[in-house]
Amino acid sequence: MSSFTFATVPQIIAGPGCIARLSELKTRLGSRVLVISDEGVVRTGLVQPALASLADCGAEASIFTGVVADPPEAVIHAAVAQAIEFGATGVLGIGGGSSLDVAKLAALLAKSGETLGNIYGVGNVTGQRLPLVLVPTTAGTGSEVTPISIVTTGAYQKKGVVSPALLPDAALLDANLTIGLPPAVTAATGIDAMVHAIEAFTSKSANNNPVSRALAKEALRLLGANIEIAVQNGTDLAARQAMLLGAMLAGQAFANSPVAAVHALAYPIGGRYHVPHGLSNSLVLPHVARFNATVCGDAYAELAPCLFPHLESARQTERLSGFIEGLTMLPVRLNLPVRLRDVGILKDGLPLLAENAMEQTRLLVNNPRTVSLSDATRIYEDAW
């Protein structure tokens, strides 16, 4: 067994209604808590239980609601400014991946005084952050347990900050906060979590490790068994909680064994066409998997019965073909768009998408098969 490292969140609190236990974290968050979310989450009342829990333990809260999808640098700067002005002693992020990513960076930059432009990339953070607790309201990104924040820079490009300093002090998984999630969002974020598990399992990273691989397989079992239930019956609390757990396990997996070409090709779709991240991943997943299968077919065959249990007794070659076919048909069954043209992408825009994807070197280096510009173009063409 080769050497590896594995890091994750010190404390995880899970279960329907567990947001009420936020008061147990008062000693970490302190008496002045900046709550970071978006207007939609606040408007639906999902933040109220957290505010009530903070009030019960005597903590004062200030709410930042400026988060938008694919947050630009300006949103990060605004959140940091509010944290400093409020004198925040801790940060609580509640929402989807964008809210959690903003919360991570606000907690860091408000304390460390570092400049956002200087910390992009892997391992460039040198300072410390404020205490940080994250609460996801979608079962997809796994951001509540990852040391990664993604920021939109300029008009289209996305950059990542990757540092152990971004791992929060605690994550709360409360399925009650996901009950109102629409079917399409439930489906797309669920597939996003599946991508995290699949890419973590097959990552070419030197830190691909047995812990991440075990977590990835269990994540796929939970996600595969519950995604259609959660989509079809959004009030099924057991399915919702299982989806949250599966997304978190996938997050722990790829936080240590990083993702690859699916994400590299998805980012330009989101950046240029404002397609939600989970759907962007779903649109290219089967085509990247088909491209990678020539070099990691055995790994895909091993994963196949985790996601599609009917393949358990199939032969190796049938598992592989069934896995690719299953990934192809899953978004169809979940009523998601399946072609790039379905989300308004014109064919003459594919070469530029491919050029942008090739800029994602942080991700492409982890792909099991080397991706050239012509390969990326062909994958987009297959997805179109």
Rounded CA-CA distance 311/60 in Å is 53
The CATH fold of domain 182-383: Dehydroquinate synthase-like, alpha domain (1.20.1090)
Query: 64 to each of 93, 174, 181, 298, how far by Cα in Å?
Result: 10, 21, 21, 47
Confidence of residue 284 (pLDDT cuts 50, 70, 90): very high
* Dihedral sign for Cα atoms in the order 181, 185, 188, 189: negative
Rounded CA-CA distance 141/256 in Å is 14
Q: What local confidence, expressed as pLDDT, does residue 154 receive?
A: 79
pLDDT tens for 99-126 read: 999 999 999 999 999 999 999 999 999 9
For 11-177, CATH number? 3.40.50.1970
pLDDT tens for 308-346 read: 999 999 999 999 999 999 999 999 999 999 999 999 999
Q: Decide: 301 and 316 in contact? Cβ < 8 Å.
A: yes
Q: Decide: 41 and 69 in contact? Cβ < 8 Å.
A: no
Among candidates 125, 180, 178, which has minimal Cα distance to 147? 125
CA angle 350, 354, 358 (to 5 degrees): 170
Rounded CA-CA distance 310/125 in Å is 45
pLDDT tens for 151-200 read: 998 777 889 999 999 999 999 999 999 998 999 999 999 999 999 999 99
pLDDT tens for 302-312 read: 999 999 999 99
Identical fold for domains 11-177 and 182-383, yes or no, is: no
In the chain, what are the domain boundaries?
A: 11-177, 182-383
Q: What local confidence, expressed as pLDDT, does residue 180 receive?
A: 87
Predicted structure pTM score: 0.96
Give the number of other CB atoms < 10 A from CB of residue 85: 11
| Phi, psi at 365, each rounded to 5° | -65, -20
